[in-house]
Amino acid sequence: MSANDSYTRPAIALHWLMALMIIGGFAVGLYMTGLRLSPDKLKLYSWHKWSGITVLALALIRIGWRLGHPVPAPLPGQPLWQLRAAHYTHLALYVLILAIPLSGWLYSSASGYPVVYLGIKALRLPDLVAKDKELATVLKQIHELLNWTMAALVTVHAAAALKHHLIDRDGTLRRMLPVLPSR
């Protein structure tokens, strides 16, 4: 496989950084919701929000990069149904990496808890909606549903990559690994 068959170094870096942040944010979200109210729980909520806002910023950078740097052509021999499935799965993942942080920010706003990025008062993000308990309840459910949807799609995405690597042995996964030379 040549360097032109792999993704660019920035695309690879953004992919893996966002993967780690999304998985970490999901794990913290699961853990923190089961805790009783305490300073530690509030700290975890703040970290979760910071992570989400960082993912949102990285998603915008990643989308900008992708618009200027198209993905490599599919490897030869891929069935059309797999190419379509990959395309729609990637599209859904991009939508979710935008929608999940936005739904969390909306939920936080509706709950009356501001998002103060990195705990720096000068970096307090504006509320996207006014405080509204009923809206907060709906937004919490939406945020949770979107996260579980993301978890399912990430699982499918990772399983497909491993299938290509371990069964098909076609180089699909190697194109996104940081150890390969890239363009």
The per-residue pLDDT for range 89-123, each reduced to its tens digit, is: 999 999 999 999 999 999 999 999 999 999 999 99
- The C-alpha atoms of residue 152 and residue 117 are separated, in whole angstroms, by 28
Q: Please answer whether residues 21 and 51 qualify as being in contact, where contact means their C-beta atoms are separated by less than 8 angstroms.
A: yes
User: Which residues lie across from 75 on neighbouring strands?
Assistant: none
Backbone angles phi, psi at 80, to 5 degrees: -55, -40
Asked whether the predicted pLDDT for residue 175 surpasses 80, the reply is: yes
- The C-alpha atoms of residue 71 and residue 67 are separated, in whole angstroms, by 9
Asked whether the predicted pLDDT for residue 179 surpasses 80, the reply is: no
pLDDT at 4: 58
Higher pLDDT among residues 70 and 19, named by residue: 19
Give the mean pLDDT of the chain.
92
Asked whether the predicted pLDDT for residue 141 surpasses 80, the reply is: yes
Q: Determine the 3-state secondary structure of 72 from DSSP.
A: coil
Percentage, residues of the chain above pLDDT 90: 80
Asked whether the predicted pLDDT for residue 173 surpasses 90, the reply is: no
User: Whole-prediction pTM value?
Assistant: 0.90
User: Which CATH code, of 1.10.287.90, 1.10.10.10, 3.40.50.300, 1.20.950.20, is assigned to 3-176?
Assistant: 1.20.950.20
Question: Given pLDDT bands bounded at 50, 70 and 90, which one contains residue 183?
Answer: very low
